Each structure stands twice: as C-alpha cells, then as structure tokens.
C-alpha cells in the first residue's frame, strides 16, 4: 500500500522481520557534548548558572559569555575513532543493527548536511561521521539507523539566550544571544513556546528540510526521534514518504521508525515501533517495541559508573521475552575510543551471546514471557531490577523449540519451569543446556518441567532449549 500522512493510513505499518529477528542493536550517542567529559545535556546546562555542568564549564573553559558551545565544537577531534574496529567489536558482541547519532539537541549535524554549516564534515573531526559509521556497519551486514534529536532543539536550547543572575558577570549575555551565531543557537523561542516540541511553523519546516536531507542522502534502515513523531502533519508527511520510498525500493516497507508515546499528543498506535527510554514493559506486547538505554550516561561522564555485563544480559533477555529489542548506547570518549572497562564488559557479553544467542535471535514471544519473583514496572526511566536465578524468561522459534532462560546461576540441583505445567507430558522431546551443549535429564508433570541440572559455571544467565512435538 501507499502511505498518506494521516493516522489511519500510517496505522497499517508492519514492522519488518529483520528488526524482529535482530533483537540487539548498539548505539553511538556521541558528539561534541562529550568533550568536557561531564555527561548528557551539556550544551543546555553550561548556560544554567549553578548547575554542575555550568561550574565545570567555568573551570575548564571560562564564562559562557566568552567561551560558548560554538567554541567546544572545534575541540571535538575524534582523533582515535576507528569505526571499522568498533563495528567489528559490536558485531562480535552480538549487535545486529547499529544506530549513529545524527543530530542532538545541540543542532550539530554529524553528516554532510546540505542545510546546516554546523556539521562534522566542516568542523570538529572534519569527517562524515554518519557516513563512516554506515560503511562500517554495512561491511559487516548490520542494518544501519540514525537518531535525530533536532525536533526538541528549538525550545531545549533557550538557555543560551540567558545571562547570569548573580556574580561578577550578572546580566552579561551568553554567546547564544549573538546574532552572528543564530544558525547554531537558533533564535529565541516565544515566551509561550515552552513544550518539548516547538509550536513555531517555521521551525517545523526547518526540521523537515534537515531530516529529509538525512533520509535522502543515507537511506537509513531505521530512524529514531527523541520524542513522539514531531510536528503533527509535517512529521506524518516525512514518515509517510520514508515508508513509501522503502516500499518502492524493496516491494514492502523495510524500514523502522522509533518514537516515544509520551512526547506527542497524536501518537498513532501501530504507525511505528514504540521506544521506551531507559525502561521496559511489564507484559508481552502484541506489537514489536524497543528499549533504548546506556551503559552509563548518554555522553561520556568521567564520574559515572558503567553497568556490568549481567545488567546488559538480563535487560536483553527480559526485553526480548516481551517482544522487544534492546538498543544499547556504548559510551565513547571524546576521542572516539572506549574505556578499557567498557571493552572488558562487552567481551563478557560476547562470551554469553556466543553460547546463548540461539535463545535471542529470530525468536518470538511464547505463551508467557516468564515467571519468578521479580516484577518489572513498565515505563520510561524504570530499568533497575534485582533479577536472580528464580526469574525465568521464555522465547520460542516460530515452529521450533522453546527457550527458557534463568537470570542467574541456581544454587539448587534442580529447577522447575512452571509454564510447561499445562502441556501434555509427551510434548517434551528433550532439553539442552545451551552454554555447555549438554543434554539435561528432565521430568514433566502437572507441576511443570523439572530439570536435573548439570554442574553450571557461574553466569549472568543460563538458557535451555526445550524441544517439543507438534
């Protein structure tokens, strides 16, 4: 079908199988805001007197009336960035799609933008960051996506139009008030234009121009917006065109659009793949969805402790059991490299995926997502749960086996999967522990499927393949 920019038409979108099979993506949420090494939203908070990042800016660079964000951009050199080596690592870790930052709220494009001179080809690393990532991904057969955060930039960055309220620089305008740099800092929003997405139609048109340039030049397999679908009819038009171009090229829509349901009043159910930022679902969802999260802060923060491999694995298994995908930001240093502790953590995930990815890739939800004492609360910014070996998650291959994964290493000689209680005894053909390849003795009764466990090495999770008849 051909899509038109209205809710009824867009609601007929069908998520492509490549996304449903891939399950695990890695994201590079990276750009000039990494330079100070003090975390996310730096471009906003460096203009907020009293904020930690404002104080850091004073110490590192000086006052934002004299040294502003425009002066941070040239310091982002990405001199140790090796996209091919990183992509090889990410592929080995288990990612089957990769997403590059396209433009954050700082209005700086990481591609060869036709409509914004503030871009990575002209400034900073003087490289087509998006294009280089794309080539590295495609060389390994990974699907390639781009995240755009431009839609919220117009109101998010009003702080650069301010001045200190007190102190020796009280009343001195920040550099964002300089009309010579309006093409970076935007003009000042109207006093009543304070929501996540601007109500200014001129900016709606500006967003459309930039995003269409991105889509036309790079034809990404996935586009992510940091919020709901922006700007009503304007956004619906961009989305319809995105789907139609893909259908014309492939015979069916083979692209994915991710957006959230909490930042737009006209979210259209079924029009895209719903994204949950740093959160998940409490139950299996009928439609595919995605969690986006990070092993640390979104941008490099020297004081932020990284997540362990067990957290990544537990998140992935829980999300996949409920028909979701995990998009994981791997935090890069300003120079483009990874901290050694990050590489070590990723290699732990690589080992686990090497043994257990059969329970992840190409699977679909089973009759229940799982069982166990740990309850997951649905929503954004809800992602810390104390999973253990008593928590079990299920997936299945279409027409094939069911997989049961323990989110920990049990300290008992046996375990029972209660979800098999309602099945006929003859339904179970055999059970295999994926990590070791060992056949596992089992009994099947009215209480479930009970396994006599082989000796298990400590691991964040243990997956079992359950072969079934019929």
β-partners of residue 422 are none
**Is the pLDDT reported for residue 379 higher than 90?**
no
Tokens of 413: 């000689």
Query: What average pLDDT score do residues 233-259 get?
Result: 97
What is the pTM for the complete model shown? Answer: 0.97
Res 264: pLDDT:
52
CATH 3.40.1350.10 fits 7-277, yes or no: no
Distance from C-alpha of 314 to C-alpha of 323, rounded to nearest angstrom: 15
Q: Look at residue 265 in the predicted model and tell me its pLDDT.
A: 52
pLDDT tens digit string along 400-431?
A: 999 999 999 999 999 999 999 988 767 899 99
Q: Does the pLDDT value for residue 385 go beyond 60?
A: yes
129: nearest Cα among 83, 94, 179: 83
For 66-98, write each residue's pLDDT tens digit: 999 999 999 999 999 999 999 999 999 999 999
String of DSSP letters for 270-294 = TSSEEEEET-B-SS--SS-EEEEEE
- Which sign, positive or negative, has the C-alpha torsion 238, 101, 94, 388? negative
State percent of the chain over pLDDT 70. 99
What confidence tens digit (pLDDT) does each residue in 117-144 have? 999 999 999 999 999 999 999 999 999 9
Decide if 460 contacts 352 (C-beta within 8 A).
Answer: yes
| Beta-bridge mates of residue 416 | 450
| Residue closest to 259 by CA, chosen among 248, 251, 268, 250 | 268
Please answer whether residues 13 and 270 qualify as being in contact, where contact means their C-beta atoms are separated by less than 8 angstroms.
yes
Range 149-166 average pLDDT: 98
What's the sign of the alpha-carbon dihedral 394, 397, 398, 402? Answer: negative
Contacts of 125 (CB under 8 A, 6+ apart): 76, 77, 78, 79, 81
pLDDT by residue (tens digit) across 314-360? 999 999 999 999 999 999 999 999 999 999 999 999 999 999 999 99
| pLDDT above 90: residue 388 | yes
According to CATH, where is 3.20.20.80 located in the chain? 7-277
Angle, helices 340-356 vs 309-321, to 10°: value is 40
pLDDT number for residue 162: 97
Contact between 210 and 150 under an 8 Å Cβ cutoff? The reply is: yes
Task: Tell me the pLDDT tens digit for each residue of 276-310.
Answer: 999 999 999 999 999 999 999 999 999 999 999 99
Question: CATH 2.60.40.1180 in the chain, residues?
Answer: 370-468
Higher pLDDT: 27 or 380? It is: 27
- State the fold for domain 370-468: Immunoglobulin-like (2.60.40)
Arithmetic mean of pLDDT, 159-188? 98
Report, as an integer, the average pLDDT of 160-169: 98
pLDDT at 110 over 90: yes
Beta-bridge partner residues of 403: 395, 465
3-state DSSP helix/strand/coil % of the chain, to nearest 5? 30, 20, 50
- The two tokens of residue 9 are 């038409």
Least confident of 11-15, 171-175, 233-237, 263-267: 263-267
Question: What's the gap between Cα 237 and its chain centre?
Answer: 24
Tokens of 395: 């997936």
Closest CA to 85 of 117, 132, 130: 132
Kindly indicate the confidence band of residue 38, based on its pLDDT and cuts at 50, 70 and 90.
very high
Predicted local distance difference test score (pLDDT) of residue 266: 62
Nearest-CA neighbor of 469 among 402, 422, 406?
402
How many Cα atoms sit within 13 Å of 394 on the Cβ side? 18
């Amino acid at each position: 079908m051909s899509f038109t920019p209205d809710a009824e038409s867009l609601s007929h979108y069908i998520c492509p199988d490549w996304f449903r099979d891939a399950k695990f993506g890695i994201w590079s949420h990276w750009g000039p805001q990494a330079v100070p090494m003090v975390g996310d939203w730096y471009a906003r908070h460096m203009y907020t007197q009293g904020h930690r990042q404002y104080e850091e800016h004073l110490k590192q660079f000086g006052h934002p009336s004299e040294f502003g964000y425009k002066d941070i951009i040239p310091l982002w050199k990405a001199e140790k960035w090796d996209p091919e080596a990183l992509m090889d690592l990410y592929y080995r870790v288990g990612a089957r799609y990769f997403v590059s930052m396209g433009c954050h709220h700082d209005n700086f494009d990481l591609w060869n933008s036709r409509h914004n001179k503030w871009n990575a080809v002209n400034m900073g690393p003087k490289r087509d960051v998006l294009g280089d990532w794309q080539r590295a991904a495609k060389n390994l057969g990974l699907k390639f996506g781009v995240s755009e955060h431009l839609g919220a930039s117009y109101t998010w960055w009003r702080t650069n139009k301010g001045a200190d309220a007190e102190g020796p620089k009280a009343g001195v305008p920040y550099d964002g008030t300089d009309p010579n740099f309006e093409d970076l800092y935007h003009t000042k929003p109207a006093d009543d234009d304070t929501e996540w997405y601007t109500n200014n139609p001129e900016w709606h048109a500006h967003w459309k121009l930039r995003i269409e340039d991105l889509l036309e030049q790079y034809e990404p397999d996935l586009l992510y917006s940091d919020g709901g679908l922006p700007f009503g009819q304007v956004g619906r038009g961009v989305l319809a065109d995105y789907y139609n171009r893909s259908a014309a090229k492939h015979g069916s829509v083979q692209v994915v659009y991710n957006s959230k349901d909490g930042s737009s009043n006209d979210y259209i159910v079924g029009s895209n793949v719903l994204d949950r930022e740093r959160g998940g679902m409490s139950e299996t969802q009928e439609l595919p969805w995605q969690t986006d999260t990070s092993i640390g802060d979104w941008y490099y923060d020297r004081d932020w402790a990284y997540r362990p491999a067990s957290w990544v694995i537990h998140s992935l298994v829980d999300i996949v059991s409920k028909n979701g995908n995990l998009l994981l930001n791997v935090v890069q240093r300003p120079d483009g490299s990874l901290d050694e502790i990050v590489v070590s953590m990723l290699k732990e995930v690589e080992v686990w995926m090497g043994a257990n990815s059969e329970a992840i890739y190409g699977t679909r939800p089973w009759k229940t997502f799982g069982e166990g004492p740990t309850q997951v609360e649905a929503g954004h910014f809800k992602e810390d749960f104390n999973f253990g070996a008593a928590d079990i998650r299920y997936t299945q291959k279409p027409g094939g086996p069911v997989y049961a994964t323990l989110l920990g290493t049990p300290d008992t000689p046996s375990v029972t999967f209660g979800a098999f209680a309602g099945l006929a005894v003859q339904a179970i053909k055999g059970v295999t522990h994926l990590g070791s390849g060992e056949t596992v003795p089992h009994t099947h009764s009215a209480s479930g499927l009970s396994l006599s466990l082989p000796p298990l090495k400590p691991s964040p999770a243990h997956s079992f393949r359950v072969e079934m008849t019929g």
